[in-house]
């Protein structure tokens, strides 16, 4: 296990030690925030414990929801879930808009004589498509939701997906008309702990936030309405202090680390020299399988045209301005080594 996984996985499992229907000791579990760089194993930090907690479920309900900002990220996470749920009976459904809305509805719910039943235990989704299903898919219910995972949390906040998050929470605490009023396990919006609120078991909703650059801006975090959040972050460990520097709930001012096997460097240059330096690395240093990030779709398109016009490098453009099938083909060719940049 990576250091982040070694700390986060036990924390999530501990929060569900009494099963997914009630929190530990009957109380609401604390939310978890994880800030660790790309390549540190964040995805398995939530995939493994979620599968472990839900593996013995009897009735299929949506109990884990993973929200990601892009279709490509959602596809990657869905593949990981499919690997770890293989042979378990747990059902993973991906909803990103790559299939027709009607087809996705068929994957999510099934109508029977007694009412609707869920066909998914774990849903991996993008915000827009998820919102459409919450509002338009009959029988789609999040009232049994136990884990809400927000991957790339900073980007989700910055891209103004807050309305989607609010809709998820409202749907999670909605009372289904066909579920009956005498449910053994009920759910009400979190509030002060009183004798009345403790008289029946609650299905807890726990939020798990993951990001390479998780914000520490209190105004942004306040939007997520976190409950007593625990922060796990990869930091440079203090040689004088015990521990491996993975979990810090008090000191968040240390520098972030890189995962083992990765190194980084930077080259100071002026704006006009950046494309030339990139070509130098590709042609002189013989760099291959390079991902070059830009700050906008327009900048990405300009750089693509420039490198293509210069020649000598197999280059492809990858941005939201391209249709999903073309992006998928580009990603596949890049993985096969047919594209250098």
Q: Is it the case that residue 260 has pLDDT exceeding 80?
A: no
**What is the homologous superfamily of the domain 3-233 according to CATH?**
P-loop containing nucleotide triphosphate hydrolases (3.40.50.300)
- Going from the C-alpha of 236 to that of each of 88, 145, 231, 260, 265, the distances in angstroms are 38, 36, 15, 13, 17
The Cα–Cα gap between 36 and 10 comes to 17
* pLDDT digit string, tens, across residues 187-225: 666 655 555 555 556 678 999 999 887 766 666 777 788
pLDDT value of position 328: 86
Contacts of residue 108, defined as CB under 8 A and 6 or more positions apart, other chains included, come to 93, 95, 118, 119, 120, 123, 133, 137, 140
Confidence of residue 74 (pLDDT cuts 50, 70, 90): very high
Q: Within a 10 A sphere around the Cβ of 102, how many other Cβ atoms?
A: 8
Taking only the tens place, the pLDDT of each residue in 150-159 is: 988 877 777 6
Which pLDDT value is given to residue 142?
93
**What would the mean pLDDT of 94-116 be, rounded to a whole number?**
93
**Of the candidates 249, 223, 251, which has an alpha carbon nearest to the alpha carbon of residue 236?**
251
Placement of tokens 């235990």 in the chain? 121
pLDDT tops 70 at residue 249:
no
- Report CA Rg, the chain: 22
Using the Cα atoms of residue 213, residue 214, residue 216 and residue 217 in order, give the sign of their dihedral: positive
**What is the mean predicted confidence (pLDDT) over 100-123?**
93
Retrieve residue 139's tokens.
């029988």
CA-closest candidate to residue 340, choices 299, 293, 285, 291: 291
Structure-block tokens of residue 169: 């929470």
Read off the pLDDT of residues 284-341 as tens digits, 9 standing for 90 and up.
988 888 999 998 889 999 999 999 999 899 999 998 888 888 888 998 999 899 999 9
Average per-residue pLDDT for the chain: 83
User: Which sequence spans correspond to the domains of the chain?
Assistant: 3-233, 271-335
Using alpha carbons, list the distances in angstroms from residue 157 to 39, 114, 124, 164. Answer: 22, 39, 18, 10
- Going by C-alpha positions, the residue among 20, 16, 14, 28 that lies closest to residue 197 is 28
- Whether the model pTM is above 0.75: yes
Q: Which residue in this structure is represented by tokens 């240390």?
A: 254
């Amino acid at each position: 296990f990576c250091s982040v996984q070694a700390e986060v996985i036990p924390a999530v499992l501990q929060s569900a030690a009494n099963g997914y229907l009630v929190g530990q000791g009957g109380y609401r579990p604390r939310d978890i925030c994880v800030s660790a760089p790309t390549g540190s194993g964040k995805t398995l930090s939530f995939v493994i414990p979620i599968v472990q907690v839900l593996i013995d479920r009897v009735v299929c309900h949506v109990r884990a929801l993973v929200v990601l900002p892009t279709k490509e990220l959602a596809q990657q996470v869905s593949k990981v879930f499919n690997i770890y749920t293989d042979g378990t009976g747990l059902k993973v459904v991906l909803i990103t808009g790559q299939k027709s809305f009607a087809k996705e509805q068929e994957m999510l719910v099934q109508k029977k004589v007694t009412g609707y039943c869920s066909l998914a235990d774990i849903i991996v989704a993008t915000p827009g498509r998820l919102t459409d299903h919450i509002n338009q898919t009959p029988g789609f219910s999040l009232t049994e939701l136990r884990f809400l995972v927000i991957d790339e949390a900073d980007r989700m906040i910055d891209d103004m997906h807050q309305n989607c998050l609010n809709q998820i929470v409202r749907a999670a605490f909605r009372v289904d008309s066909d579920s009956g009023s005498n449910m053994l396990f009920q759910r009400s919006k979190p509030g002060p702990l009183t004798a009345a609120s403790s008289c029946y078991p609650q299905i807890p909703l726990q939020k798990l936030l993951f990001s390479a650059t998780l914000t520490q801006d209190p105004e942004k975090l306040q939007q997520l309405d976190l409950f007593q959040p625990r922060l796990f972050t990869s930091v440079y460990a203090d040689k004088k202090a015990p521990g491996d520097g993975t979990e810090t709930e008090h000191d968040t001012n240390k520098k972030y680390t890189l995962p083992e096997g990765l190194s980084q460097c930077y080259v100071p240059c002026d704006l006009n020299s950046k494309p030339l330096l990139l070509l130098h690395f590709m042609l002189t240093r013989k760099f291959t399988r390079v991902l070059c990030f830009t700050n906008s779709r327009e900048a990405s398109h300009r750089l693509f045209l420039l490198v293509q016009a210069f020649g000598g490098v197999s280059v492809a453009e990858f941005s939201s301005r391209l249709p999903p099938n073309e992006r998928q083909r580009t990603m596949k060719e890049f993985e096969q080594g047919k594209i250098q940049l």
